[in-house]
Amino acid sequence: MTGKVCIVTGGNTGIGKACAFAFAKKNAHVIIASRTPSKALAVVEEIKNETKNELVEFIQLDLLSLASVTKFASEFKAKKLPLHVLLNNAGVMACPFALSEDGYESQFATNHLAHFHLTMQLLPVLEESQPSRVVNVSSWGHNTIYFHGLDLETMNDESKYSAFVSYGRSKAANILFTRELSQRLEQKGVKVRLA
């Protein structure tokens, strides 16, 4: 992946960290997007030391704030880099009820809205860099007992909150967004693949 640029949200832990390592081992330029600088910078150094790839860096991103998402996108664009892989990985599951900085239920805000906003902010760069790819990490939570419809009207109502239903809603939104954007880009003839 020499010459390829990859953004990994939540790249400082779990699946995101494993993917950031894998990209770096393949010699990609990796940008770890996460909330806590101290944790992310430690992982940046760990990846650099293990892979001997110096093209690993951190840009702060708080998915509970759409302003932070916009700031992240602006900082990335200011680097004048292409973008070949956007891995929307970061997420939360079955949290106690809370609202984001913008007033949205926290799981929906983190797992879906922020990644939707990030993807749309970076889509022009992805299109310019084609062929490129957007990977939206979802889960089986969109299915079976967890998902009872999107019901966006009551999403922010604490009295109707269910941690697992809200998680399922956010994961269903990931899948619907991925499918819709994929169809729209295909119709335009753009080689940005979604998964």
- Rounded distance between C-alpha atoms, residue 30 and residue 28, angstroms: 6
For residue 16, count CB atoms less than 10 angstroms from its CB and return exposed for 0-12, middle for 13-18, buried for 19 or more.
buried
**Is pLDDT of 151 > 80?**
no
pLDDT band for 142, please (50, 70, 90 cuts): low
User: What mean pLDDT is predicted for residues 33-56?
Assistant: 97
User: What mean pLDDT is predicted for residues 183-191?
Assistant: 87
For 106, phi then psi, to 5°, come to: -65, -35
Tell me whether residue 66 is in a domain.
Answer: yes
**Is pLDDT of 147 > 60?**
no
For 58, phi then psi, to 5°, come to: -120, 135
User: What mean pLDDT is predicted for residues 33-39?
Assistant: 95
Q: Please tell me the total count of domains within the chain.
A: 1
Tell me whether residue 98 is in a domain.
Answer: yes
Report the run of H or E that residue 70 belongs to, with start and end: helix 66-78
Which of these ranges, 16-30, 109-123, 165-179, has the smallest mean pLDDT?
165-179
Tell me whether residue 10 is in a domain.
Answer: no
DSSP string, 180-195: HHHHHHHHHT--EEE-
| Global confidence as pTM | 0.91
- Rounded distance between C-alpha atoms, residue 69 and residue 109, angstroms: 11
For 30, phi then psi, to 5°, come to: -110, 130
The 10s digit of each residue's pLDDT in 95-116 is 999 999 999 999 999 999 999 9
Tell me whether residue 147 is in a domain.
Answer: yes
- Rounded distance between C-alpha atoms, residue 85 and residue 135, angstroms: 8
Tell me whether residue 111 is in a domain.
Answer: yes
Helix (H, G, I), strand (E, B) or coil at 56: strand
Of 93 and 143, the structure prediction assigns the larger pLDDT to 93
Average pLDDT, the chain: 92
As a residue count, the chain comes to: 195
Q: How many CB atoms lie within 10 A of CB 22?
A: 15
Provide the residue range defining the domain that includes 81: 61-194
**Is pLDDT of 25 > 70?**
yes
Check which CATH number belongs to the domain holding 147 and give it. Answer: 3.40.50.720
**Is pLDDT of 38 > 70?**
yes
Tell me whether residue 169 is in a domain.
Answer: yes
β-bridge mates for residue 20, sequence order: none
**Is pLDDT of 16 > 60?**
yes
131 prior amide bond cis, ω within 30? yes
Instruction: Quote the percentage of the chain above a pLDDT of 70.
Output: 94
Helices (H) and strands (E) in the chain, counts: 6, 6
**Is pLDDT of 195 > 80?**
no
Residues with catalytic roles: 161
**Is pLDDT of 145 > 80?**
no
pLDDT of residue 188: 87
What's the first-to-final CA gap in the chain, in angstroms? 18
pLDDT of residue 140: 66
Tell me whether residue 50 is in a domain.
Answer: no
Tell me whether residue 39 is in a domain.
Answer: no
